[in-house]
Amino acid sequence: MERTRLLTSFQDFGLADPISRALKEENYVTPTPIQSQTIPLVLAARDVVGIAQTGTGKTAAFALPILHRILEHRIKPQPKACRVLVLSPTRELSGQILESFNAYGRHMRLTSALAIGGVPMGRQVRSVMQGVEVMVATPGRLLDLVQSNGLKLGNVEFLVLDEADRMLDMGFINDIRKIVSKLPVRRQTLFFSATMPKDIADLADQMLRDPARVAVTPVASTADRITQRIVQVDHSAKAAFLAQLLQHEPVDRALVFTRTKHGADKVVKGLARAGISADAIHGNKSQNHRERVLAAFRSGQIRTLVATDIAARGIDVDGISHVVNFDLPNVPETYVHRIGRTARAGADGIAISLVAGGEEMSYLRDIEKLIRIALSREDRRTPGQREAVPAASQHRGPRSAPRVHGTRANDGAPGSKGPRRRRRPGGNNGAPQTNRHEGNRHEPMRPSSSSHGGGKAEGMQGVAFLHRESRPNTRPNRTQRPR
Ligand code: AMP
């Protein structure tokens, strides 16, 4: 790990004036640990491998010094070319990264573009026709743009791979290799991943030159502020229980998770019958619909959003007071990612999980093992059903390990301070459409019981990354091109 003097103020970095002004407007005063470590290295033209999760401020950690370096040597981008290429696994994350670049670069007339699946390519082709400074993209669409001669990669000076482990999990490895093979060898590469298993480390080794390594302690404080409730209910009573809950709990914003798309629609219909308006996002909905619903959820127009894990990936909304697991996920890490959607930005949060039947009870036990907390259960089952499943009192708690989340992270988790990214409706997004690349492709995959077991190997690691965004709840075949 690189030893760097930790800088405690943004002024210490000597960032160019237009960037400093934007930071003031964003109310960024103190750099987060990943920013303190990464910014000086990037300014010094080093390649960087960073282990950091979403929520640690890593976007600014790479965006700010890159913007500074662009300003140091401002040149007009070549037509159909970009100076900075950022690859990220999802459309949502890509959009957020672009918004961050635009927010930090607002006083420097930054030119930027987004290339994501799910929208017609024509507009994206036009947006890079004159060349842009910053291009944020998902790998599949970027390759399409390149292959259709809409974009050339020979002028890229900075490459950022964000959430590299997720990109590999999502099967983007071949796309990434193809993209990298088209980039100039002389470039600066920044590589971020929440985890660093061997295949990710190998990929980094192949792509980076003498990289500096940085890592930040995970944002583990989230779980401290989340009240976790387990409610045992009959299967058939889940919908009614949810409606009751939403009526009686002091809900600001509730995110309800279901395992399937069909399940999400059913929940919305059930809530509608109970007079509660809600909307669903999942892979069958168009990008247009997803964006509209998300905007309504963000603005408070919709109080209850029902989502599948895949669709919820990359949702970055503050003020979610309740996460409800209508179905318990069968990969325990998914539970941790789901509940991490609440208690953001320093707020408290409530996570309520409805557990019905022996299968979900076994998922619950795996979750407890992972988080090393025995969660107390409320039993709302009808008496006849109780014998069917081991009662809470008979349940042997998880390993007697201590609660792991007792330490509140004071490592400057940015979510607790800074404003959220500016959302620019429309922005560079093209008109929405069904996504060919990053859309439905993972949605129908229901994890098999073997993936369940597979999750355990990473279990303890999952504990360490409580703030990480949701990952697909499967271990997809990494060789499969997700088209
Ligand atoms: P990220 O991990 O990049 O997704 O950032 C998480 C959130 O923290 C975003 O809403 C940022 O706007 C915010 N943020 C990043 N760095 C800082 C900082 N130094 N001070 C305050 N907020 C920040």
Q: What is the DSSP letter of 405?
A: T
10-215 and 226-388: same fold? yes
For residue 381, what are the CA distances in angstroms to 197, 231, 356, 386? 42, 9, 8, 6
Superfamily of segment(s) 226-388: P-loop containing nucleotide triphosphate hydrolases (3.40.50.300)
195: confidence class by pLDDT, cuts 50, 70, 90: confident
Digit-coded pLDDT (tens) for 236-291: 999 999 999 999 988 889 999 999 989 999 999 999 999 999 999 887 777 788 88
| Ligand 1: centre distance to CA 382 (Å) | 46
Atom of ligand 1 nearest to the CA of 31: 19
- Of 3.40.50.300, 3.30.499.10, 3.40.718.10, 3.40.50.620, the CATH number of 10-215 is 3.40.50.300
300 CA to middle of ligand 1, Å?
22
- Tell me if residue 142 falls in helix, strand or coil: helix
> In the predicted model, what is the mean pLDDT of the chain?
78
- Higher confidence at residue 338 or residue 271? 271
- Span 5-16, mean pLDDT? 81
Q: How far is the CA of 181 from the centre of ligand 1 (A)?
A: 32
Say what the pLDDT of residue 386 is: 58
Does the pLDDT of residue 464 top 50, yes or no? no
Which of 13, 30, 59 has most ligand 1 atoms within 8 Å of CB, for mutation?
59
Mean pLDDT of 202-212: 94
Cβ pair 85, 159 in contact under 8 A = yes
Residue 217 pLDDT level (bands cut at 50, 70, 90): low
Q: Is the CB of 420 under 6 A from ligand 1?
A: yes
**128 token code pair:** 């890079």
At 405, phi and psi to the nearest 5? -105, 25
Q: What is the pLDDT at residue 430? A: 33
Whether 72 shows a pLDDT value over 70: the answer reads: yes
At 224, the pLDDT band (50, 70, 90 cuts) reads: low
pLDDT (0 to 100) of residue 448: 31
Per-residue confidence (pLDDT) for residue 159, from 0 to 100: 98
The alpha carbon of 344 and the centre of ligand 1 are apart by a number of angstroms equal to 12
8 A C-beta contact, residue 93 and residue 470: no
From the list 53, 261, 62, the residue with the least C-alpha distance to 166 is: 53
Q: Contact, 44 vs 190, CB < 8 A? A: no
Among 23-32, 82-91, 297-306, 382-391, the range scoring the smallest mean pLDDT is: 382-391
Domain spans in the chain, listed from the N-terminal domain onward:
10-215, 226-388, 408-448+456-474
Q: Say how many Å lie between the first and final Cα of the chain, rounded.
A: 37
Helical pair 357-371 and 332-339, crossing angle rounded to 10 deg:
70
Provide the pLDDT for residue 98.
Answer: 97
Residue 303 clears pLDDT 70, i.e. is over it? yes
pTM of the model: 0.57
Average pLDDT over residues 91-108: 94
For 367-399, how does the pLDDT look when each residue is reduced to its tens digit (9 = 90+)?
Answer: 887 777 888 899 988 876 654 444 333 333 333
Average pLDDT over residues 284-305: 86
pLDDT of residue 280: 92
